[in-house]
Amino acid sequence: MPIRTNRGRAAVYRKLWGWPMRSPTHLVVVLVVVAVLVIAISVIVPQVVGSGAGGTGAAGSTGQSTSPSGSGPGTTDEQSLPGGGGSATTELPTRITSPPQRPTSAPAEPAALEVATRWGEAWVDHEGVSAEEWLDGLRPLTTEEYMVEMETVDPRNVPASEVTGEPEPTDSYTSSVTVNLPTDGGTLAITVIDTPQGWRVAFYEQVA
């Protein structure tokens, strides 16, 4: 009968729950069993979950491996701190510590002085000529880059008509020479540089 069956089950449950309370020994046994079950569950469940994830933990650790020497593209050198206090990253130098090389001083080349003089003579020769003719006189003695700037100069604004003295070097190096060239309209400071095509004028200004 259903009623008798339920009463029988209840009697069994009462016996099971009442058994640990019958003596201290029974209670200790129950606590030990429960503790063993808890420990077993805490160990087994993470292993089951980890294996079900496809070994992602091992793959992650493999993908993060680094070179034993700590070198390679995008890495920095590491040195152990005194006393085993971990590691410190040393920064690589980001700028050149040695000073840049300066031009080597040298006596003025006669060819450089000649080009400066010829350029000055072409510069003062502007009367009765067109702007194109004036530029054509300067072109063989001038760098291509500086000719672009010279094309913006109006020869009618040149204040001199003749060279009145010899070129006097003021700064002389192996690859460039600056000379002062006197004219009847003031002194020109002409810078001549050594190019694959020979000495050429790369800059000038009126200094007096």
For residue range 70-127, list pLDDT tens digits in order. Answer: 444 444 444 444 454 444 555 555 554 554 567 788 999 999 999 999 999 999 999 9
* H or E segment to which residue 145 belongs: helix 144-150
Q: Where are the domains of the chain?
A: 2-47, 110-206
Higher per-residue pLDDT: 154 or 62: 154
Question: What does pTM read for this prediction?
Answer: 0.53
**CATH code, residues 110-206:** 3.10.450.540
pLDDT in tens, 130-181: 999 999 999 999 999 999 999 999 999 999 999 999 999 999 999 999 999 9
The CA distance from 198 to 177, in Å, is: 13
Question: Dihedral through CA 143, CA 144, CA 150, CA 152, nearest 10?
Answer: -170
